Structure 1
Amino acid sequence: MYKIGNYEFENFKYRPGHRANYGILTKPGNGEWGMKYSPTYSYDREYDVLKNFSHPQVPKRYEAGTGRGELYENDKLVLKEYYIVLQNFEGEDLVEYYKHKGVPDSSEIANVVKYFVSTAEPLQYLHSKGYVHADIKPGHLILNSATGVVGLIDLELSIKEGELIKGLTVEYASPEQKRMNDLLREVTDDKGEKAVLQEVKIDGKTDLYTMGLILFEVLTGKVRAQTTQLPIEINNAIPQKLNDITLGLLEEDPSNRIATVEQLKTELSGI
Structure 2
Amino acid sequence: MMFVEKPYREGTVVNGRYTIQALLGEGSYGMAYVARDEETKELVVLKQMKRAKKKKRRASFEREALILKKLNHPQIPKLYDSFDVRGTLHLVMEYIEGDTMETLIFDKNKTYDEKEAFSLLADVLRVVQYIHEHGIVHRDLRIPNIVFRNGVVYVLDFGLARFLSEKNERLFTLEQRLRRTIDVKSDIYALGHFLLFLLYSSYEPTADKEKSWEDELSLSKEARYVLRRMLQLDLPYASVAQLARDVADVIG
Corresponding position of 1:242: 223
User: Percentage identity across aligned positions?
Assistant: 20
Residues 26-66 of structure 1, C-alpha deviations (whole Å, 9 max, x = no match): 36985321112343354232112222111111211122233
Aligned: 1:121 with 2:126: yes
Corresponding position of 1:192: none
How many residues are treated as equivalent by the alignment?
224
- Gapped regions of structure 1 (runs ≥ 5): 70-80, 181-201
CA contact (8 A) 1:118 1:150 kept: yes
Corresponding position of 1:86: 93
Which letter does structure 2 place at the counterpart of 1:210?
Answer: A
CA–CA distance in 1 between the matches of 2:14 and 2:157?
21
Describe the shift of the 1:150–1:166 C-alpha distance in structure 2 as closer, same or farther (beyond 3 A): farther
Describe the shift of the 1:36–1:8 C-alpha distance in structure 2 as closer, same or farther (beyond 3 A): closer
CA contact (8 A) 1:120 1:265 kept: yes
Deviation at 1:68, TM superposition (A): 4.6
Corresponding position of 1:267: 246
Deviation at 1:166, TM superposition (A): 5.5
14, 32, 42: which one pairs with 2:23? Answer: 14
Which letter does structure 1 place at the counterpart of 2:73?
Answer: H
Residues 194-253 of structure 1, C-alpha deviations (whole Å, 9 max, x = no match): xxxxxxxx321221111112212332269xxxx76134x3233x4443333222201157
CA–CA distance in 1 between the matches of 2:125 and 2:33?
27
42, 46, 52: which one pairs with 2:64? Answer: 46
Corresponding position of 2:45: 34
Describe the shift of the 1:105–1:204 C-alpha distance in structure 2 as closer, same or farther (beyond 3 A): closer
CA–CA distance in 2 between the matches of 1:86 and 1:164?
27
SS in 2 for 1:90: coil
CA contact (8 A) 1:172 1:213 kept: no
SS in 2 for 1:120: helix
SS in 1 for 2:96: coil
Aligned: 1:155 with 2:158: yes
Deviates further, 25-34 or 162-171: 162-171
Deviation at 1:269, TM superposition (A): 2.2
CA–CA distance in 2 between the matches of 1:67 and 1:27?
17
CA–CA distance in 2 between the matches of 1:138 and 1:264?
20
Q: TM-score, normalised by structure 2?
A: 0.72
SS in 1 for 2:70: coil
CA–CA distance in 1 between the matches of 2:195 and 2:133?
22
